[in-house]
């Protein structure tokens, strides 16, 4: 029997789904991140070796896996596709890998049809859409050094900033201080500064603080509610050019990523903004995960 595999290479982990030719999922697992814009090459190589080793075992040999679709962030970097292709080859896969942006696989998994919009706010943030003619447009996704507003990384950074500002009096006292200190086992802003500037600290480490925002918002903390509102506004700014450029003001908007799916405050603020500007737009969580979208692309490419 032949199989296909779909990979969703996020900023903190890679989700992998293996399916047979009929689209039945036979195995799903997670491995390390594969974004060259935020991870070192050696850790990405280890992740690939682990993933293809597992695919080899599940499929009874890599030769039985006829297509692999890899969706990952950072693909706008012209060096990424050749490097990923070389990695795939070094792991023993002899087929042609399909390498696309993570927004492509997220959109494919999010809707029953090919057209629509996907807004992703996980470690990073991006909005991507495609209309009925196949035309597409994206907004955001330029990486944490230039972009990613409203993302988990952005929220984590904003939490650290709020604690620093509250410490020196630029903000009133905030419950974020105790929450961040407890999570990081710290007791001073100096320790937070050292953490943020440590070369070993990556964007995933900072994004890991983002879930604290929900707890602080639930407590009615002013600084936290302001961060949630700003994050939602930044995410809505990504939706507007995609909807306008593609004429999808009355289309479907799917939400994905931990920020939008797990933070009710950011999500509700975003849905309110969408409803005010685009009252005919339907907003709902992505119907299937991005790794499944990669499987669908692999299955389509595998058809004669």
- DSSP annotation string for 119-143: EEESSSEEEEEE-TTS-EEEEE-S-
* pLDDT of amino acid 8: 93
- Do 158 and 207 lie in a common domain? yes
Residue 37 has pLDDT above 70, yes or no: no
Contact 35, 101 (CB under 8 A): no
- Do 159 and 294 lie in a common domain? no
* pLDDT of amino acid 36: 60
- Do 262 and 200 lie in a common domain? yes
Coil, strand or helix at 150: coil
Contact 103, 242 (CB under 8 A): no
- Do 225 and 137 lie in a common domain? yes
* pLDDT of amino acid 16: 97
Distance, CA of 29 to CA of 275 (rounded, Å): 36
* pLDDT of amino acid 211: 96
- Do 99 and 131 lie in a common domain? no
What's the domain count of the chain? 2
- Do 88 and 139 lie in a common domain? no
Q: What is the pLDDT of residues 139-149, one digit of tens each?
A: 998 888 898 99
- Do 86 and 104 lie in a common domain? yes
Which positions ≥6 away from 12 have C-beta within 8 Å? 33, 122, 123, 204, 207, 208
Distance, CA of 221 to CA of 224 (rounded, Å): 5
- Do 136 and 259 lie in a common domain? yes
Distance, CA of 123 to CA of 11 (rounded, Å): 6
Give me the mean pLDDT over the 207-212 stretch.
96
> What single DSSP character describes residue 257?
S
- Do 60 and 149 lie in a common domain? no
Residue 11 has pLDDT above 70, yes or no: no
- Do 149 and 266 lie in a common domain? yes
- Do 135 and 262 lie in a common domain? yes
Write the CA distances from 29 to 16, 25, 84, 163, 220, integer angstroms.
5, 11, 19, 36, 37
Q: Which domain holds residue 252?
A: 115-286
3-state helix, strand, coil in the chain (%, to 5): 50, 20, 35
- Do 95 and 157 lie in a common domain? no
Give me the mean pLDDT over the 196-210 stretch.
93
Give me the mean pLDDT over the 3-28 stretch.
91
Residue 43 maps to which CATH number? Answer: 3.30.420.40
* pLDDT of amino acid 43: 83
| pLDDT tier for residue 1 given thresholds of 50, 70 and 90 | confident
Cβ neighbours of 130 (radius 10 Å): 25
């Amino acid at each position: 029997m032949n199989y296909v595999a779909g990979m969703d290479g996020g900023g903190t982990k890679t989700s992998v789904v293996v399916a047979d030719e009929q689209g039945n999922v036979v195995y799903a697992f997670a491995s390390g991140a594969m974004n060259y814009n935020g991870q070192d090459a050696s850790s990405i190589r280890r992740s690939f070796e682990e993933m293809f080793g597992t695919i080899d075992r599940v499929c009874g040999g890599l030769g039985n896996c006829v297509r692999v679709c890899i969706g990952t962030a950072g693909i706008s970097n012209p060096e990424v596709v050749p490097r990923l292709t070389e990695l795939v080859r070094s792991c023993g896969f002899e087929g042609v890998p399909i390498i696309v942006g993570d927004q492509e696989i997220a959109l494919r998994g999010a809707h029953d049809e090919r057209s629509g919009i996907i807004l992703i706010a996980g470690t990073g943030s991006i909005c991507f859409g495609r209309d009925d003619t196949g035309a597409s447009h994206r907004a955001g996704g330029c990486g944490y050094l230039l972009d990613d507003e409203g993302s988990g990384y952005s929220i984590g950074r904003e939490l650290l900033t709020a604690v620093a500002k509250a410490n020196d009096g630029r903000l009133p006292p905030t419950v974020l201080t105790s929450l961040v200190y407890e999570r990081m086992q710290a007791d001073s802003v100096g320790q937070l500064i050292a953490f943020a500037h440590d070369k070993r600290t990556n964007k995933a480490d900072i994004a890991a603080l983002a879930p604290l925002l929900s707890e602080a918002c639930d407590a009615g903390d002013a600084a936290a509610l302001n961060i949630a509102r700003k994050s939602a506004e930044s995410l809505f700014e990504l939706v507007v050019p995609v909807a306008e450029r593609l004429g999808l003001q009355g289309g479907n908007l799917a939400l994905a990523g931990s920020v939008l799916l797990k933070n009710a405050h950011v999500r509700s603020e975003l849905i309110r903004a969408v409803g005010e500007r685009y009252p005919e737009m339907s907003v709902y969580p992505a119907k299937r995960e991005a790794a499944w979208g990669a499987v669908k692309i692999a299955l389509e490419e595998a058809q004669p």
